[in-house]
Homo-oligomer: A and B are copies of this chain.
Amino acid sequence: MGVITGAMQDYLKAIFKLQQDRSAVSTSEIAARMRVSAASATSMVKRLARLRLVAYTPYRGFALTSAGERIALETIRHHRLLELYLAQHLGVSLDKVDGEAERLEHVLSEEVEARIAATLGNPTHDPHGDPIPAKDGTLHDVHHPTLRHLPPGQAGVVDRVSDSHPDALRRLAGLGVLPGVAIKMVAHRSGGCQVEIGGRTLTLPRELTQGVYIQWLTAPTKP
Contacts and interface: CB of A to CB of B under 8 A. Distances in A.
A219 to B, nearest CB: 42
Interface stretch (A8-16, A73-81, A100-108, A182-190): A100-108
A112 B92 CA distance: 8
Nearest 6 A/B pairs, CB to CB:
A103-B107, A90-B115, A104-B107, A100-B112, A100-B109, A91-B115
Majority secondary structure, A binding face: helix
Interface of A: 86, 89-92, 96, 100, 103-104, 106-107, 109, 111-112, 115-116, 119
A107 B107 CA distance: 9
Contact of A111 (B89, B92, B112, B119): B92
A21 B93 CA distance: 43
Given A104-B107, A107-B103, A107-B104, A112 B86 contact: yes
